[in-house]
């Protein structure tokens, strides 16, 4: 599976934790509900299908799975990856790639620091927080099946397009 192809060895697309935090701040939504979750999921789905990507997509409100799509070429293993990425976002409030990059920058054992097991948590790209202005973490967009940087970037594209459709982003 593409998510596991690279162990924690610095393959993080040149991202910095500061840059990823700024990205999260730029992708804050004015509100988030079931309709928004479905629209975000459909945007990601449309982008993935138009490119014939082998990706699974999930949007959650808290821990509630509101949107889920598994495209051809994916497997139940992608659901396992998404669940692990979701736990990272719920634990930290940051994207799963942010946590990986931060662990690399600070040279820490992320799992030991948080007292969790790698079997249950994945600091690989593709878990993005859905943050609502003035409220904080409201949901999670999850992508799995592509290399971790592409998982993350597809999520960023979907959130960016959603905000643009709402007139919140140029």
* Proportion of the chain in helix, strand, coil states, percent, rounded to 5: 50, 15, 35
Name the residue among 159, 18, 17, 19 with its Cα closest to residue 99.
Answer: 17
Residue 113: what are its φ and ψ, rounded to 5°? -55, -40
Sketch out the chain's domains with CATH numbers.
15-165 (3.30.450.150)
pLDDT digit string, tens, across residues 90-135: 999 999 999 999 999 999 999 999 999 999 999 999 999 999 999 9
**CA pair distance 43, 49, nearest whole angstrom:** 10
CA angle 147–158–152, rounded 5-degree value: 25
Assign 140 to helix, strand or coil.
strand
Q: Report the predicted TM-score, pTM, of the whole model to 2 decimal places.
A: 0.92
Name the residue among 136, 144, 155, 165 with its Cα closest to residue 36.
Answer: 165
pLDDT digit string, tens, across residues 129-164: 999 999 999 999 999 999 999 999 999 999 999 999
Flag the least confident range among 3-12, 35-44, 119-128.
3-12
């Amino acid at each position: 599976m593409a998510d596991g192809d690279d162990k924690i060895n610095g393959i993080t697309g040149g991202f910095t934790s500061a840059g990823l935090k700024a990205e999260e701040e730029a992708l804050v939504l004015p509100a988030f509900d079931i309709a928004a979750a479905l629209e975000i999921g459909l945007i990601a789905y449309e982008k993935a299908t138009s490119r014939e990507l082998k990706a699974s997509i999930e949007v959650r409100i808290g821990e509630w799975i509101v949107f889920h799509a598994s495209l051809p070429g994916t497997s139940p293993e992608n659901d396992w990856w998404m669940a692990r990425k979701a736990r990272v976002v719920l634990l930290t409030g940051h994207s799963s790639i942010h946590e990986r990059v931060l662990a690399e920058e600070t040279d820490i054992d992320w799992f030991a620091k948080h007292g969790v097991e790698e079997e249950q948590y994945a600091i690989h790209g593709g878990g993005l927080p859905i943050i609502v202005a003035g409220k904080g973490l409201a949901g999670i967009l999850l992508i799995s099946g592509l290399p971790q940087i592409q998982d993350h970037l597809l999520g960023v594209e979907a959130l960016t397009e959603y905000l643009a459709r709402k007139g919140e982003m140029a």
